[in-house]
Amino acid sequence: MRVLLTSHGSTGDIYPVIRLGCALLEAGHEVRFATVPFFRDEVERAGLQFVYLPPDWGQSGFSEAMRDLTKARNAIDLIGIIYKESLPYIDDIFSILRSELAWADLFVSSYLFSSLSVLAQSMGVPSAVTTFTHNVVPSPSCPPVSCPRLLVFPAALRRTWNSLLWYLGDRLITWRINCIVGEAAKRNGIEPIRNFLLEPADRVIVTVSPGLFQPQELWSDRFVFSGYLRWQSAEDSRLEEELNQFCAGEKVPILTFGSVNFNDSRKVMARFIRSWPKGKKLIIQSGWAGLSVESPRPEIKRVGKVSHDQLFRHGSLVIHHGGAGTTASVLHSGIPHVVIPHIGDQWFFAREVKRLGVGLELKCSRWPEDLPKAVRTIEKSKKMPAKAKIIAERLEQENGPAKAVRVLEELVAAKEVEDSPEP
Q: What is the pLDDT of residues 278-318, one digit of tens each?
A: 999 999 999 988 888 888 899 999 999 999 999 999 999 99
Average pLDDT over residues 247-267: 91
* Residue 417 to residue 399: CA distance in whole angstroms: 28
pLDDT at 336 over 70: yes
| pLDDT value, residue 132 | 93
Residue 386: predicted pLDDT? 98
pLDDT in tens, 168-182: 999 999 999 999 999
| DSSP-based three-state secondary structure for 35 | strand
SS3 label, residue 255: strand
Residue 221 CB partners (closer than 8 Å, separation 6+): none
Contact 316, 253 (CB under 8 A): yes
pLDDT digits (tens, 9 = 90+) for 91-133: 999 999 999 999 999 999 998 888 899 999 999 999 999 999 9
How many Cβ atoms sit within 10 Å of the Cβ of residue 176? 15
> What CA–CA distance (Å, rounded) separates 217 from 140?
6
pLDDT of residue 59: 84
pTM above 0.85, yes or no: yes
Bridge partners, 33 (sequence order): 5, 50
Helix axes 11-26, 324-333, angle to 10 degrees: 60
Closest CA to 361 of 380, 341, 335, 344: 341
Strand ranges (E), 259-386 = 282-285, 300-303, 315-320, 337-339, 359-361
CA-based torsion, 66, 71, 76, 80: positive or negative: negative
Share of the chain above pLDDT 90, in %: 82
33 touches 62 (CB < 8 A): no
The residues near 152 (Cβ < 8 Å, ≥ 6 apart) are: none
* Contact present, 199 and 118 (Cβ < 8 Å): no
- pLDDT at position 284, please? 97
Q: Please report how many Cα atoms fall inside a 13 Å half-sphere around the Cα of residue 113, on the Cβ side.
A: 25
Residues 6+ away with beta carbon under 8 Å from 204: 111, 128, 129, 130, 131, 137, 222, 223, 224
pLDDT, tens only, 74-85: 888 888 989 999
Residue 32 sits at the vertex; the CA angle it makes with 26 and 34, to the nearest 5 degrees, is 135
Instruction: Report the phi/psi class of residue 150: left, alpha or beta, with left for phi > 0 and alpha for psi in -120 to 50.
Output: left
Instruction: Return the pLDDT at 314.
Output: 98
The pLDDT-based confidence of 423 (bands split at 50, 70, 90) is low
pLDDT tens digits, one per residue of 342-401: 988 999 999 999 999 999 999 999 999 999 999 999 999 999 999 999 999 999 999 999
- Is the four-CA dihedral 359, 377, 275, 240 of positive or negative sign? negative
pLDDT at 126: 97
Average pLDDT score over residue span 315-343: 97
Over the chain, what is the mean pLDDT?
A: 94
Question: Span 24-40, mean pLDDT?
Answer: 97
What is the rounded CA–CA span in Å between residue 241 and residue 402?
34
pLDDT at 185 over 70: yes
Ramachandran area for residue 239 (φ above 0: left; ψ -120 to 50: alpha; else beta): alpha
- Measured distance CA(158)–CA(248) in Å, rounded: 54
Please tell me the predicted confidence (pLDDT) of residue 293: 85
